[in-house]
């Protein structure tokens, strides 16, 4: 089977840097994705890592270590609008489908 673990909540201050960790267990692995979801909204795709290392997209970066079954999402220069839930998700064996973690709720304070 597949399982993912991420913290349930993280609080940070506007302008700061925050890291959201994700560990996973899968019977097969193709890649790790990150999604953002604001309250009442739909999940929005942020990034995807298939290989080890860091991927940077503007203020957001995502990291993957396949040997450690671990990844993280790094958010820099936090803004109030970054307050949302962030989901890590794995694409594993069994076809082209993605299983989502329970999500991390990020609170950004002024």
Partner 1 sequence: DAGVIQSPRHEVTEMGQEVTLRCKPISGHDYLFWYRQTMMQGLELLVYFNNKAVMDDSGMPKDRFSAKMPNASFSTLKIQPSEPRDSAVYFCASSRDSPGYTFGSGTRLTVV
Subset of residues 28 to 67 that bind partner 1, contact rule: CB under 8 A: 31, 33, 41-45, 48, 50
Q: What is the size of the binding site for partner 1 (CB under 8 A)?
A: 21
CB of 57 to partner 1, least distance (A): 12
The residue among 4 and 18 lying less far from partner 1, judged by its C-beta, is 4
CB of 26 to partner 1, least distance (A): 14
* CA proximity to 85, closest of 63, 70, 107: 107
CB of 67 to partner 1, least distance (A): 20
- Count CA atoms within 13 Å of residue 106 on its CB side: 29
Subset of residues 67 to 96 that bind partner 1, contact rule: CB under 8 A: 87, 91, 94-96
* Contact assessment for residue 61 and residue 76, using Cβ atoms and an 8 Å cutoff: yes
- Please spell the DSSP secondary structure of 18-66, one letter per residue: EEEEEEEE-SS--EEEEEEE-TTS--EEEEEESSSEEEEETTEEEEEET
Question: Which positions lie near partner 1, rule CB under 8 A?
Answer: 31, 33, 41-45, 48, 50, 87, 91, 94-103
């Amino acid at each position: 089977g597949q399982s993912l673990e991420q913290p349930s909540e993280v609080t940070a201050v506007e302008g700061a840097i925050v890291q959201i960790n994700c560990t996973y267990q899968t019977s097969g692995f193709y890649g790790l994705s990150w999604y953002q979801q604001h309250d009442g909204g739909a999940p929005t795709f942020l990034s995807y890592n298939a290989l080890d290392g860091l991927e940077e997209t503007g203020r957001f970066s995502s990291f993957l270590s396949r040997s450690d079954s671990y990844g993280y999402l790094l958010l820099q220069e936090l803004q109030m609008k970054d307050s949302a839930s962030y989901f890590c998700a794995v694409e594993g064996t069994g076809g082209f489908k993605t299983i989502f973690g329970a999500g991390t709720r990020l609170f950004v304070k002024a």
